[in-house]
Every structure is written in C-alpha cells, then in structure tokens.
C-alpha cells in the first residue's frame, strides 16, 4: 500500500514538474501582417494572440507587428519565415505565387459558389494538401497553418460603365497583380490586364492608367477608390479572397505537443474570425458605396453563367502552365464537390 502510494505520488510529482516546465518555457511567436488595424488580417491576429496566450496559460507570448516593421512584401516576408526571423505571416495567393505558384488556384474564378462552400473547403483536407506541397517545395521550412479570408469576394469594379455581361468588360484596362493567372483571367474576358502596385492604384484610377480592378468592397471603401472615380461594382463573386497563414515549420515542430495543439486551435479561431469579419464590415461598406452614388449590380443566374463560360479556358491554362497546377486543381474541385454534397444533405434536413 505504501509502495503504491509512493509510486502514485512520484507520478503526480513528475506530471506537475512537466507542467511547470512547459509553463516556465518562454515561447514567443513573432507574427506580422502587411496591413493595418482596419483589416481582417489584424482581426484574425488579435483573436489568435488572445486564444494562444490564454490557452497556453502564459507559456506562449504572441507579438504582433502590423505593417512593414519586419518585412515589406510577400517574397521578403516568406523568406523571413523560411529563415526563422519571422514566425507567422499572412499572404495572399498573389504574394506567394512566386515561390508556390499553385496557390493561385484560390484565384481561379467561379469554382466556389458561396461562403458556406468556401469555408467548408478551406477548413478541410484541401488546405492540408497545399501544406504538404509547400513544405516539400520550401525544404520543410514554410508550413501553411490555415487559409482564412481577407476582404470577402473579388468582384469586378470600374470607372466607366455598368458591367452585366463579359462583353461589357471588353477593352477596359483592369488592374491586376504581376502574377500570370489574374492576367490570363482578365484577357479571357476581353479586357486588358494592367499590372499596378497596390499603393499606386488610387492615382492610377484618377489618371486613367487603369479603369477597373478585381477587389472586395471593403478594400474599395477603405482605400477611398470612389473618390478616384470608381463608380461601378458588379457582384460576380469570381474568387474568394483567401489569406494564407504560414509559420516557420521548425518553430512549430520545436514546441511540445500540447503547445502545438494550442497553436493549431489558435489558427482555427483565427480562421473563424477572418471568415466572419468581412461579412460584418461589408454591410457598412456597401451602404457607403451606394450612398456615395455608386452603382451596385447583381448579375442574374444566366449572366453569371456567361461569366463562368467565358472564364473556363483559364482552368486548362492553369493545369498546363502552373507547376503543381493539376494536382491542386483536382484537390480543390474534389473538395468543392464534397462540400456541395454535404451542404445539399444539410439543406434537405434543415428545410423539411
């Protein structure tokens, strides 16, 4: 009996010592986003920091660097993740395409129909497939932790006229990033892709260097683009604005398993926050756009189908020209089909 109690006491002491050891660890996560405090990325980081610090009982501290304090752009920041000088960073597909070209699959048009489909897909195995590909291509240094949202859905917006059909885009100079896929999409719709850096876009609208863009409404209003002449928005919802959250893989794997679980749960909370944030912010943004004289157009189902048909050649271009394109395209379309089937069952149960 005494021996049994002694062993139990020793086990308890060892467990307590282990817990104290973890609690005493000074784990600091340096997280950065090249945005500002009005952005969904910031909302996500605030939720991540709060969750991780509380759930780890103070064993993990999260330091936030908003803007360009640690790095000034996608390539530089991703290099910081690979080097370990930055622990967490959020990038768009355009910002990561130079290193991981297949992440542009998130910009392929009209593959995901609405928020429920997109959120189901991005919370599942599709993201794990992209993680495996990125780890392999970065020498196991850059780990995709989750994919959230940054601004809702991309829609066509312009300074010239209402766009109801793809033919209405003909000849318009549409701002894109430097990446190939957005340029191919704009060309497939008959418009002229014009790569312009984000900070230069306001002036480019004013001067007519570009006449349109592919943005979410919160970005349009936060950047005051209507003041530069942007008057027409067509809610074609051609792409979900995915935000790819990455972490230094060595930093993540170097943590005890219970702390890794906390971090994974923290990214799940972050993802949910970024899913929700654009929904709320877009309400006021749309209201302000209309109040300022903006023209907001919702395509009919037939018109939206015309956009899909016009953009369809981009799918084959992507699979044939982007390294890893066919693999990630199949992973996404399979995930979408599965999500749509699950949601159809849910509707059947909930509507009857």
For the chain, counts of helices (H) and of strands (E)? 14, 9
**CA–CA gap between residue 55 and residue 272 (Å, rounded):** 17
Q: DSSP states of 154-221 as a string?
A: EEEEESS----SGGGGTT-EEEE-SSHHHHHHHHHTT-EEEE--GGGHHHHHHHTS--EEEE-HHHHH
Tell me the pLDDT of the chain averaged across its residues. Answer: 92
226: Cβ contacts below 8 Å, ≥ 6 apart: 220, 289, 292, 293, 294
The CA dihedral of 133, 137, 138, 142, to the nearest 10 degrees, is -10
Q: Do the domain assignments include residue 1?
A: no
Residue 67: what are its φ and ψ, rounded to 5°?
Answer: 110, -140
**CA–CA gap between residue 85 and residue 73 (Å, rounded):** 15
Which whole number is the average pLDDT over 56-72? 95
Residue 140: what are its φ and ψ, rounded to 5°?
Answer: 60, 35
**CA–CA gap between residue 223 and residue 207 (Å, rounded):** 16
**CA–CA gap between residue 352 and residue 347 (Å, rounded):** 8
Contact (CB, 8 A) for 108 and 315: yes
Domain count along the chain? 1
CATH number of the domain where residue 157 is located: 3.40.190.170
Q: How confident is the model at residue 178 (pLDDT cuts 50, 70, 90)?
A: confident
Instruction: Give ∠ CA 185-190-195 in degrees, rounded to 5.
Output: 55
Could you read off the pLDDT of 299-349 as tens digits, one per residue?
999 999 999 999 999 999 999 999 999 999 999 999 999 999 999 999 999
Could you read off the pLDDT of 121-135 as tens digits, one per residue?
999 999 999 999 999
Which whole number is the average pLDDT over 224-232? 97
Q: Do the domain assignments include residue 156?
A: yes
Q: Report residue 154 as tokens.
A: 């991309």
**CA–CA gap between residue 108 and residue 333 (Å, rounded):** 11
pLDDT exceeding 90 applies to what percent of the chain? 86
Q: Do the domain assignments include residue 2?
A: no
Reply yes or no on whether the pLDDT at 59 is more than 90.
yes
Element (H, E) at 283: helix 257-291
Contact (CB, 8 A) for 138 and 91: no
**CA–CA gap between residue 345 and residue 324 (Å, rounded):** 32
Q: Do the domain assignments include residue 289?
A: yes
Q: Report residue 157 as tokens.
A: 């917006």
Which whole number is the average pLDDT over 223-228? 96
**CA–CA gap between residue 112 and residue 271 (Å, rounded):** 18
Q: Do the domain assignments include residue 160?
A: yes
Per-residue pLDDT, 73: 85
The CA dihedral of 203, 206, 210, 214, to the nearest 10 degrees, is 80
Q: Do the domain assignments include residue 3?
A: no
Domain hosting residue 108, numbered range:
8-319+327-351
**CA–CA gap between residue 244 and residue 227 (Å, rounded):** 30
Which whole number is the average pLDDT over 158-178? 95
Per-residue pLDDT, 352: 93
Q: Do the domain assignments include residue 143?
A: yes
């Amino acid at each position: 009996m005494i021996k049994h109690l002694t062993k139990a006491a020793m086990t308890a002491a060892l467990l307590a010592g282990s817990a104290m050891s973890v609690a005493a660890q000074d784990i600091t996560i340096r997280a950065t986003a090249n945005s500002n405090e009005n952005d969904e990325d910031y909302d996500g980081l605030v939720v991540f920091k709060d969750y991780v610090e509380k759930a780890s009982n103070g064993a993990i501290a999260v330091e936030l660097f908003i803007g360009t304090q640690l790095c000034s752009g996608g390539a530089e920041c991703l290099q910081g993740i690979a080097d370990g000088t930055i622990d967490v960073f959020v990038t768009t597909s355009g910002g990561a395409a130079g290193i991981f070209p297949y992440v542009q699959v998130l910009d392929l048009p009209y593959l995901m129909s609405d928020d429920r489909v997109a959120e189901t897909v991005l919370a599942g195995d599709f993201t794990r497939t992209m993680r495996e590909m990125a780890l392999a291509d970065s020498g196991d240094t850059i780990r995709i932790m989750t994919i959230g949202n940054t601004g809702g859905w991309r829609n066509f917006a312009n300074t010239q006229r209402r766009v109801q059909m793809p033919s209405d885009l003909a000849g318009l100079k549409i701002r894109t990033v430097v990446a190939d896929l957005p340029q191919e999409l704009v060309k497939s719709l008959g418009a002229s892709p014009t790569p312009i850096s984000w900070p230069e876009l306001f002036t480019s609208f004013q001067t007519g260097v570009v006449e349109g863009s592919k943005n979410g409404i919160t970005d349009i209003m936060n950047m005051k683009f209507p003041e530069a002449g942007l008057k027409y928005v067509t809610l074609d919802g051609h792409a979900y604005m995915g935000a790819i959250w990455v972490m230094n893989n060595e930093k993540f794997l170097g943590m005890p398993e219970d702390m890794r679980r906390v971090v994974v749960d923290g990214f799940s909370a972050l993802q949910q926050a970024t899913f929700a944030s654009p929904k709320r912010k877009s309400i006021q943004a749309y209201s302000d756009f209309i109040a300022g004289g903006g023209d907001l157009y919702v395509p009919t189902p037939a018109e939206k189908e015309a956009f899909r048909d016009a953009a369809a050649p981009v799918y084959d271009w992507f699979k044939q020209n982007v390294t890893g394109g066919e693999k990630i395209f199949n992973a996404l379309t399979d995930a979408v089909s599965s999500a749509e089937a699950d949601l159809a069952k849910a509707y059947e149960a909930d509507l009857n």
